[in-house]
A = this chain, B = another copy of it.
Amino acid sequence: MLDVNAPPSLKSLAASLGLSAATVSRVLSGQAARYRISAATRDRILARAETSGLVVNHLARSLRLQRTLSIGLVIPDIANPFFALLAREIERQARRHGYSVIVADSEEDPAVEAEVLALMQNRHVDGLILAPVGTSAATTLLRALAATRPCVLVDRLLPQAKLAAITSDHRHGARLAVAHLIERGHARIACVQGHPGTFANDERVAGWRAAMRRAGLATAGLLFGAGYSIAAGRDGARALLESPAQPTAALALGNLLALGVLQAAREAGRRVPEDLSLVAFDDQPWAGVMTPPLTIIDQPIADLGREALALLLERLGRRDAPPRRRTLPVRLIERGSVHDRRARPAASSPTPDPTP
């Protein structure tokens, strides 16, 4: 049984109207005026397209036009709230501009990344937005991709690659956090890091180091953790709590890390913020509902996504546009996880501040 109601192609519609495919194509692509198609045929075509539920074959169109109107999005973990939000914004903006998005999850694994980049290449995406996994790995494949189509890096930079990139000011975020803590009388400020070797993490660590040094404070023995999970945060915080340096405050370079720190502190019978103050990175809906509500360094995730797409579209429009880099500002959201030691020093903190 043949389905007579199957959505017709441009071609079949043309045939059924006794017109050539060319004419139909011209009308459908809005070129009716340019080709001086008669109003009558134009309307006939338009009307029929409407009623018949015509669906033009995008594959054929892409093949002919040499552009697919699709972009690739490669991120290390779609389920990570940061990347999920980023993906949402990018998809929405892309759709607004007529592009569809092929997503792939590199699983924070260079091998998988290479695999999906190859996939993006043979799917002929017009452009690519990538949060790269390593600092090096995929560069030869990426170079090949970038040679033929615009690519923009997001959240993570590849310093050696001359690609457009959009990141937020991780380094400044860490400085902001440290300054906030110092102002409130903290001096032994630890850092619980995420995945060393990734751009955002290393920038934040660098910012923490710089801010500490500028204030004349030591950082030796105050860096803990490896990985972005709750478990990693807990492990890092356990080490931190038992360390000889006896930090009074900690930066958690990711929100899940903060959760781990909270857990560890509770287990050890330390109060947050009285015994250990905490500033965490990346705001989440639940951050303000924790006890205590978390003081956060927040990055504008939706803006990152929007800008990434803007950068891509810019270069999709003018292929010779230079690859630009933009850095977006971050801000500190003060809530309740930082104790002011100047006002009423924490009772359970035995060691006095070493005056630098």
Report which A residues bind B (CB closer than 8 A). Answer: 3, 5-7, 53, 55-60, 62-63, 68, 70, 77-81, 84-85, 87-88, 91-92, 95, 100-105, 107, 115-116, 118-119, 121-124, 144, 147-148, 230, 256, 259, 262-263, 284-286, 289-291
Complex contact A92–B107 (CB within 8 A): yes
Complex contact A144–B7 (CB within 8 A): yes
State the Cβ distance, A141 to closest chain B Cβ, in Å: 9
State the Cβ distance, A235 to closest chain B Cβ, in Å: 15
**Supplied contacts A63-B63, A70-B123, A78-B87, 20 more A-B pairs, CB within 8 Å:** A5-B147, A6-B147, A57-B124, A58-B124, A78-B88, A78-B91, A79-B84, A79-B87, A79-B88, A80-B84, A81-B84, A87-B103, A91-B103, A92-B107, A100-B104, A103-B103, A259-B286, A262-B289, A286-B286, A290-B290
Residues of B within 8 A of A262 (CB): 289
Q: List 3 A-B pairs, minimum CB-CB distance, nearest first.
A: A84-B84, A78-B88, A291-B291
Residues of B within 8 A of A116 (CB): 95
User: Within the oligomer, what is the number of copies of this chain?
Assistant: 2
State the Cβ distance, A260 to closest chain B Cβ, in Å: 8
Residues of B within 8 A of A103 (CB): 87, 91, 101-103
Residues of B within 8 A of A60 (CB): 63
Complex contact A100–B88 (CB within 8 A): no
Residues of B within 8 A of A118 (CB): 55
Most chain B CB within 10 A, of A59, A116, A263, is at: A59
Residues of B within 8 A of A77 (CB): 88
Show 11 A/B contacts (Cβ-Cβ < 8 Å), sorted by A: A53-B144, A57-B63, A59-B59, A77-B88, A78-B78, A78-B84, A78-B88, A79-B85, A100-B104, A290-B290, A290-B291
Residue from the list B55, B68, B85, B256 in contact with A285, Cβ < 8 A: B256
A95-B104 contact in complex given A285-B256, A289-B263, C-beta closer than 8 Å: yes
State the Cβ distance, A26 to closest chain B Cβ, in Å: 18
State the Cβ distance, A139 to closest chain B Cβ, in Å: 14
Residues of B within 8 A of A7 (CB): 121, 144, 148
Most chain B CB within 10 A, of A3, A84, A92, A105, is at: A84
Residue of B nearest to A148 (CB): B6
Complex contact B59–A68 (CB within 8 A): yes
Complex contact A289–B259 (CB within 8 A): yes
State the Cβ distance, A19 to closest chain B Cβ, in Å: 21
A262 to B85, CA, bound (A): 24
Residue from the list B57, B63, B105, B124 in contact with A88, Cβ < 8 A: B105
Complex contact B78–A79 (CB within 8 A): no
State the Cβ distance, A280 to closest chain B Cβ, in Å: 12
State the Cβ distance, A46 to closest chain B Cβ, in Å: 17
